[in-house]
Structure 1
Amino acid sequence: MYDLLVVGAGPYGLSIASHAAGAGLRQRVFGRPMASWRDHMPRGMYLKSEPWASNLSDPDGRWRLDTYCAARGVEARHGEPIPLEMFAAYGQWFARNAVPEVDERTVTRVAPVAGGGGFEAVTEDGETVRARTVALAVGVLPFVEIPAALRDLDPDLVSHSSHHGDLDRFRGRDVTVIGGGQAALETAALLAEQGTRVRVLARAEHLTWNDVPPAWERPWWRSARAPQSGLGCGWRNWFYAERPGLFHRLPEPTRARIAATALGPAGAWWVRARVEPAVEVLLGQEVAEARELAGGAGGVRLDTVSRSGERRSLETEHVIAATGFRATADRLGLLDAQLADGLGALTDGSPTVGRHFESSYPGLFLAGLVTASGFGPTMRFVHGATFTAETLVRGVRRRLRAGVGVGVGGVRVPAPGRREGVRSAG
């Protein structure tokens, strides 16, 4: 039986695995490294976060994004976005160097061990693996959110923005993108640039664009008034980015409100010039009804309503819903019913997590977007992986000591602050 099973090999899962290896834990890591970044984001996209805020985390800080870029003759500069393909390749490089062997099979079910402590995970080909603790770092894909009016339409007519590794199928067609955030705006820009007739439809009365980031080196008084952080400038963003442990101490209603409203939909400054001249934007409208065009026309009729009650209709060949994700406990579909029923939930439906990311089911730890209501908006970004990995692995070690006292084979779990059995990352 392993000490830890890590389910997921994106930025959070890989960072957790690296810190667990540094702590001497016997672990298994499942998932295809950086799969969602490689397979579910179109070519030509860029990372919205600053390069220095996009590092995966290892105990020694050796395997940073800027190190990867420098080895390939590229400088990761503040204020210059990194191509998505480069970031995905960086994550794979991190996995090869900072993480024990990753098993690329998918885990389809996690359940408690019958009649004993620990958990068992079943892989896609039927193998069962047992561990004393589990860290679920399943990313965002289980939590895809599509507006209710669109959910019953055929997938050939409606898709989510995360369903596309490329957009070639839409060349020369008419596409409507729903949403006003980065995913919607950058998707629309890429579609326009390849010759697609595209429009953006958003509920907001106006689009929000992020400002060009200030220079890295600034007068001290400017930095004091609006410090840089992994989520942007300003003390509020600094608190969200750099103090998620303190955020966790806020009252639950406050945390839920901030998680739902902070850092709302906005486009990166560098995509604005690509959208405004090339993309039709319909603002202040929400889809009230959608239906397939009659007569085999192969499209969708969208009926929209404004806040004032004004109704409009439009026809399009395909709808891409860039409408984000809703990370609720009931969408963790790989959990056995006993585990799922044992999860406490916050008022917004997200699972309860303790100060070490342990769920209300002892030994089951959660990471990433699903913990945003517990630890704040930074959990929606790569920047949150460092705090998560460090804190969660401490929690795993505490759980192992409390639950079993020693690790597998009688090897004592290292005490906090000591690092034993660090794997060579050559």
Structure 2
Amino acid sequence: MKKLDVAIVGAGPYGLSLAAFLKSSDIDHCVFGPAMSFWQDNMPPGTKLKSDGQSSDLPAPGSGFPISRYQIETTGSFVVTQPITVEEFHAYGTRFRDRMVSHADPRTVATIRRDGNGFSLTLEDGEEVGARAVVVAVGVRSFTYLPRHLAALPADCITHSVEHGPVAALAGKRVAVVGSGASAIDVAAALHEAGADTRIITRRESVAFHHPPSHRRPLRHRIRRPDTGIGGGWDLWFYVNFPALFHALPEAVRLRVVETTLGPAPGWFMRDRIEGKVPILSGMTTMAVSADDGVVTFALKDRHGAAHRIEVDHVVAATGFRPDVARIAMLDPALASAIRTCGTAPALSRKFETSVPGLYMIGPVAAPSFGPVMRFVFGAGTTTPVLGRHLARRFPRAASTTVPLGPPAAAYGQAGE
């Protein structure tokens, strides 16, 4: 069985960024999983990131490989306020991997279990790999949340928004999208454009689109509401710049802040694809929802108390995510049960370590410990350098002698990755 100092499970923005820092410290490591697969497989084609280009960099040591350099190399220019499509972000991430990451293996990890003083990872093809430390960077795909009344619907009548990439299978059907955030609006636009009879149902009074970015705000406005990589305001400035101080807050306060900060807000550029094209049933309370013979019926009440009845063929629930250790399927049950939790998320040390020595978790799953910034790519900037330095001290090496695992580098860019 091959042995590593550090195995990174998940090759999204956080996993790839951490791998770049471990490479710079000559740490014996490998990052596992298809690179940036979430951005290719779980978001509708044509979706754009809400964050500005400068907030979408994958952090790396030194000058690294920011997305501005990628765009200049591929298109000849970079406009910081121009939204980035998920297709371009996926391509940027895979180019980052090729340039900045020394050891990547596109195979997924099926199981992680404790093995003596370290861990044993079983890969999708049955190969086993040993590691002294494991960093889980799995994103949000495992943490879909369905309200109870929607979870009771038959499985063939409902999907979560994270299950849509392509939406062509729903063309010609009557579809209700439940929610009013970016995921709801993105998938509703894609469904409408694919030929589905689409409507949006939300309990909110209106859809709160982001304002277009401005980089010439008056000084007094910038003092009153300083800009950050995740929005404007002194509260967000604190969450972005002082995640370690956020970590020191009482658990109940942290959980409340993460639950209530930065509510649903689709990108400003989505207005033209939604307004006047997709009906929005706002201010709605769901009184009951049922399914019969393939038809889903919503009994709704609006803010004035008037009743509405909506029948559709399918429901897309854009109802968010809730980090939950018990839903990280690759964790051996005995390992999962040994992890102390903060709510349902892992309770992490200041170095992102769980209560199981040597097991770390980063990305959105770390939000209850380190704040709302962890729900964004931008949060990698305050995560991966800290964890990279910590692991470099834990596993000092004069030079890396790692033998790459799995397929050769030429296979990393294969179709479907």
Q: TM-score surpassing 0.5?
A: yes
1:364 maps onto 2:351 in alignment? no
Asked if structure 1 preserves the Cα contact closer than 8 Å seen for 2:208 and 2:264, the reply is yes
How far is the alpha carbon of 1:256 from its aligned partner? 0.9
Instruction: Say which SS state the counterpart of residue 289 (structure 2) adopts.
Output: strand
Task: Look up the match of 2:390.
Answer: 395
Map 1:239-254 onto structure 2 (within 5 A): 239-254=238-253
Larger displacement relative to structure 2 (203-212 or 51-60):
203-212
Instruction: Say which SS state the counterpart of residue 119 (structure 1) adopts.
Output: strand
Map 1:245-324 onto structure 2 (within 5 A): 245-294=244-293, 298-305=294-301, 311-324=307-320
Task: Look up the match of 1:176.
Answer: 176
Instruction: Say which SS state the counterpart of residue 228 (structure 2) adopts.
Output: coil
Instruction: Say which SS state the counterpart of residue 72 (structure 1) adopts.
Output: helix
Residue-by-residue CA offset, 1:39-69 (whole Å, 9 max, x unaligned) = 1111111011111000111112321101101
How far is the alpha carbon of 1:221 from its aligned partner? 4.0
Residue-by-residue CA offset, 1:130-163 (whole Å, 9 max, x unaligned) = 1100000011111011222222434332111111
Tell me the distance in 2 between the aligned counterparts of 1:332 and 1:270. Answer: 34
Task: Look up the match of 1:166.
Answer: 166
Task: Look up the match of 1:341.
Answer: 337
1:330 maps onto 2:332 in alignment? no
Larger displacement relative to structure 2 (280-289 or 155-164):
280-289
Asked if structure 2 preserves the Cα contact closer than 8 Å seen for 1:122 and 1:128, the reply is yes
Larger displacement relative to structure 2 (371-380 or 162-171):
162-171
Instruction: Say which SS state the counterpart of residue 394 (structure 1) adopts.
Output: helix
Q: How many pairs are equivalent?
A: 401
Residue-by-residue CA offset, 1:364-411 (whole Å, 9 max, x unaligned) = 00011111011111111100112111112233344x3xxxxxx5xxxx
Say which of 368, 373, 383 aligns to 1:373: 368
Map 1:87-102 onto structure 2 (within 5 A): 87-102=89-104
Tell me the distance in 1 between the aligned counterparts of 2:278 and 2:111. Answer: 43
Tell me the distance in 2 between the aligned counterparts of 1:138 and 1:74. Answer: 33
How far is the alpha carbon of 1:245 from its aligned partner? 2.0
Tell me the distance in 2 between the aligned counterparts of 1:136 and 1:91. Answer: 18
Task: Look up the match of 1:403.
Answer: none
Tell me the distance in 1 between the aligned counterparts of 2:129 and 2:370. Answer: 30
1:141 maps onto 2:136 in alignment? no
Asked if structure 2 preserves the Cα contact closer than 8 Å seen for 1:248 and 1:374, the reply is yes
Residue-by-residue CA offset, 1:282-314 (whole Å, 9 max, x unaligned) = 1222444433233xxx33222335578765331
How far is the alpha carbon of 1:249 from its aligned partner? 1.9
Task: Look up the match of 1:41.
Answer: 43
Letter in 2 for 1:367: I
How far is the alpha carbon of 1:324 from its aligned partner? 1.0
Asked if structure 2 preserves the Cα contact closer than 8 Å seen for 1:240 and 1:376, the reply is yes
Task: Look up the match of 1:229.
Answer: 228
Asked if structure 1 preserves the Cα contact closer than 8 Å seen for 2:164 and 2:187, the reply is no
Larger displacement relative to structure 2 (39-48 or 202-211):
202-211
How far is the alpha carbon of 1:328 from its aligned partner? 1.6
Asked if structure 2 preserves the Cα contact closer than 8 Å seen for 1:53 and 1:383, the reply is yes
Task: Look up the match of 1:78.
Answer: 80
Tell me the distance in 2 between the aligned counterparts of 1:255 and 1:308. Answer: 35
Distance 1:22 1:288, change over 3 A: farther
Task: Look up the match of 1:29.
Answer: 31
Tell me the distance in 2 between the aligned counterparts of 1:110 and 1:127. Answer: 12
Asked if structure 2 preserves the Cα contact closer than 8 Å seen for 1:51 and 1:81, the reply is yes
Distance 1:303 1:362, change over 3 A: same
How far is the alpha carbon of 1:181 from its aligned partner? 0.4
Asked if structure 2 preserves the Cα contact closer than 8 Å seen for 1:38 and 1:85, the reply is yes
Task: Look up the match of 2:69.
Answer: 67
Distance 1:277 1:308, change over 3 A: closer
Residue-by-residue CA offset, 1:340-364 (whole Å, 9 max, x unaligned) = 1111111x32110011101111110
Larger displacement relative to structure 2 (285-294 or 5-14):
285-294
Tell me the distance in 2 between the aligned counterparts of 1:156 and 1:330. Answer: 24
TM-score, structure 1 length as denominator? Answer: 0.89
Tell me the distance in 2 between the aligned counterparts of 1:164 and 1:270. Answer: 20
Larger displacement relative to structure 2 (169-178 or 64-73):
169-178
Tell me the distance in 2 between the aligned counterparts of 1:313 and 1:61. Answer: 56
Identity %: 38
Larger displacement relative to structure 2 (224-233 or 170-179):
224-233
How far is the alpha carbon of 1:421 from its aligned partner? 5.7
1:128 maps onto 2:141 in alignment? no
Letter in 2 for 1:285: M
Tell me the distance in 1 between the aligned counterparts of 2:156 and 2:328. Answer: 26
Say which of 17, 20, 24 aligns to 1:18: 20
Tell me the distance in 2 between the aligned counterparts of 1:222 and 1:311. Answer: 43
Letter in 1 for 2:236: N
Instruction: Say which SS state the counterpart of residue 8 (structure 2) adopts.
Output: strand
Letter in 1 for 2:377: V
Tell me the distance in 1 between the aligned counterparts of 2:112 and 2:300. Answer: 42
Unaligned runs of 5+ in 1: 401-406, 415-419
TM-score, structure 2 length as denominator? Answer: 0.90
Distance 1:422 1:93, change over 3 A: farther
Tell me the distance in 1 between the aligned counterparts of 2:121 and 2:239. Answer: 34
Q: CA RMSD in A?
A: 2.2
Asked if structure 1 preserves the Cα contact closer than 8 Å seen for 2:28 and 2:401, the reply is no
